[in-house]
Amino acid sequence: MNKLIVIFCAVTAFSLSCFCQEKNVYDNELNAHIDLAKRFEKEFNYKKAILTYDSAIKIAQAEDNKLWFAHLIRMKSRSYLIANKLDSAKVYAEKAIYKSKQINNDTILGMSLLNLGSVLRKKGD
């Protein structure tokens, strides 16, 4: 019985270790995309920044990670905002607001509302 418990604990620990490593690889990949997109924004290459966010969004969707998805949608909205593509910025800010409410994340919600407010201010609405 004790050997069975030891084996079960070893298998469980190994499984958790693999899960954490997968999660870290996944998080690292998304963070690398975000860093790259921010670099493109600093270089005023908003088209590449937005395409990089699109790529990261596809990864988050494939992993069904709603938190990352909402965060990336919000960042894409911000990129459109600084590129002065206000209609697209508004669409993605509204999507981020909707998604952040679904997952009950006040931080993303607040930042998305700020994006939307900035869009409306720039548009004069």
Domain edges within the chain: 2-123
The rounded radius of gyration (Å) of the Cα atoms in the chain is: 19
Contact present, 81 and 115 (Cβ < 8 Å): yes
Top-confidence residue, 67 or 18: 67
**78 burial type by CB count under 10 A (0-12 exposed, 13-18 middle, 19+ buried):** buried
pLDDT of residue 14: 37
Average pLDDT score over the chain? 82
19-72 pLDDT per residue, tens: 334 455 667 888 888 888 899 999 999 999 999 999 999 999 988 889 999 999
**Predicted TM-score of the model (pTM):** 0.77
Top-confidence residue, 76 or 11: 76
| CATH fold for the domain made of 2-123 | 1.25.40
Contact present, 120 and 87 (Cβ < 8 Å): no
Would you state the structure tokens that stand for residue 99, as one six-digit string? Answer: 């998604």
Greatest Cα-to-Cα distance within the chain, rounded to the nearest angstrom: 72
pLDDT of residue 29: 86
Average pLDDT over residues 90-118: 95
